[in-house]
Structure 1
């Protein structure tokens, strides 16, 4: 099976330019497995105190794996992408209690057997920004049939980013929009409205190139029938607004498999100069709007000089992080 994260330099881009999961979200997940501990237990008090195992499925480069590693005795990171796992293993802040394994997500017990870990020791299974890649019924039925009934399952993710403007940030009456998957954030400013529409067009353009239903992710997995398998279901949003720049946004798009597959499938049109790349179109509009297009020197804005120009254009971006806490 093809490694869809095996494009040149893609795993490094993924590890560098994908957003870090907010600490409140990580804390929320950690506390979901501390029901046997004293009420009101501080998350920081859990560091090194949870004598159990967590399995991070579709762990990729280990972004979320490393964030939860300090709290558990054993941490297992599973992924089918050899390129992603290689970078996870080579990460300088690799925790000694993490075991990474190139393994099929649907054979969780086989992976645990290989690592000589008992299924009964697993108190938490996480999957961060990866559940949409899997067959829902096949994975969840495997999970519920092979792990203890008190094991917590926490699918985590984030939808596409939204650009922001300062006026929106100052308007408290609009903050409730942050958790709306159909959100429109930039009504006050023509520039940001256009940026937002062009980013939306970019993701719409890429829809046919995703190996999964992207709209499931954009709806925060809320339409998935978790209730068919789990008795308890909690859902929580963790919207986070961060300052970024257009170079980081460009590199984030480069880390997306669908974009790389799109370029691969349209390589003849690209070579002929007839491919209308929505990312290039967006960046050209940004550079024109900011009066910096004449400072660039490549048509696709990928030169080292172009990178420095894109880094100078700062803006605020919204990431809608979410998590489901599921148990029986």
Structure 2
């Protein structure tokens, strides 16, 4: 079982895996968040590309390795990120090249302590974000602490992404996706369009769903819960008067190796490995991610092995990189605010 008291994201190579293989938040989502933030300050949309209002700043809570934090750096004079994981904060600092971004170790609940530490004036805090982390928190405790600590004009953005869909590349599928105008459709509509023109999509997604929902069934209640439901029933209305929601489907070119590394960056994989390391190594327990990779490599005629494969073996890595896989990510954002 996944234990919420364990820092799975800070263990061994997890911070680097997380930073390298989690999906990048799309620019149109960032611009949507900034536009909503600007509207709270009566600023014109024409300044969207250079929104660095004098003295205004953003705070990214539960920031992990700073994947979302860094995307805000060109939009605000100062951006601050906090997380409870020492390993994640260390990786965030190591990979940070933005002079206006700072990190420190705080819980997402410790908002007033964070403001004091960074000497942030509440009146200058334009945006508070939390990306791909709300599922780790007690929502009532978090939202109560948040609204008690920020000004009414501060925008709050709850960001994340849903379960990715695997698309085996084909010219027909690519054309359909381009013509469908992803930004105007939801994930289901796009998936249905592609599925009928990409025969292997159903099979590979079946492998993927089996890996997530069946083989890790006892471990997914924490981290994977965050990618199960994009519109989870959280008590937004109890704490905020205004609530906007928008989805951003994005097709990203990838390969089997990167998708496997994404799965290995999840907390449930690390928890499973900790509980079963000896059994995996002596072959009495299968590594579900290795099995997932082997099943696709078998379909691609790159292996005869449909049991556990060594994910770190150079030949297997080379084979996985050869398998082109496009991944359909559906990012989402909840924009929350109260009347001034």
| Global fold match (TM > 0.5) | yes
Gaps spanning 5+ residues in structure 2: where?
none
Among residues 195, 202, 209, which one is paired with 1:186 in the alignment?
A: 195
Among residues 187, 192, 206, which one is paired with 1:197 in the alignment?
A: 206
1:306 corresponds to 2:316: yes
Asked if 2 retains the 8 angstrom alpha-carbon contact of 1:55 and 1:125, the reply is yes
Q: Which residue of 1 aligns with 2:49?
A: 44
CA drift of 1:37 comes to: 4.2
1:251 corresponds to 2:256: no
**TM-score, normalised via structure 1 length:** 0.90
Distance 1:320 1:299 in 2: 30
* Local SS of the residue matching 1:155: strand
* Local SS of the residue matching 1:34: helix
Q: How does 1:88-99 map to 2 (within 5 A)?
A: 88-93=92-97, 95-99=98-102
Among residues 92, 107, 115, which one is paired with 1:112 in the alignment?
A: 115
Distance 2:217 2:205 in 1: 17
Q: How does 1:152-191 map to 2 (within 5 A)?
A: 152-165=155-168, 166=170, 167-171=172-176, 178-180=186-188, 186-191=195-200
* CA offset digits 1:52-88 (Å, max 9, x no partner): 1211001111111111012112211010010011011
* CA offset digits 1:243-270 (Å, max 9, x no partner): 1101111111111111111111122321
Gaps spanning 5+ residues in structure 1: where?
none
CA drift of 1:179 comes to: 2.9
Among residues 76, 81, 86, which one is paired with 2:80 in the alignment?
A: 76
Residues 215 and 174 of structure 1: CA distance in aligned 2, closer, same or farther (over 3 Å): farther
Moved more, 245-254 or 265-274: 265-274
- Name the count of aligned residue pairs: 325
Q: Which residue of 2 aligns with 1:33?
A: 37
RMSD: 2.5
CA drift of 1:174 comes to: 11
* Local SS of the residue matching 1:33: helix
**TM-score, normalised via structure 2 length:** 0.87
Q: Which residue of 1 aligns with 2:132?
A: 129
Q: Which residue of 2 aligns with 1:2?
A: 6
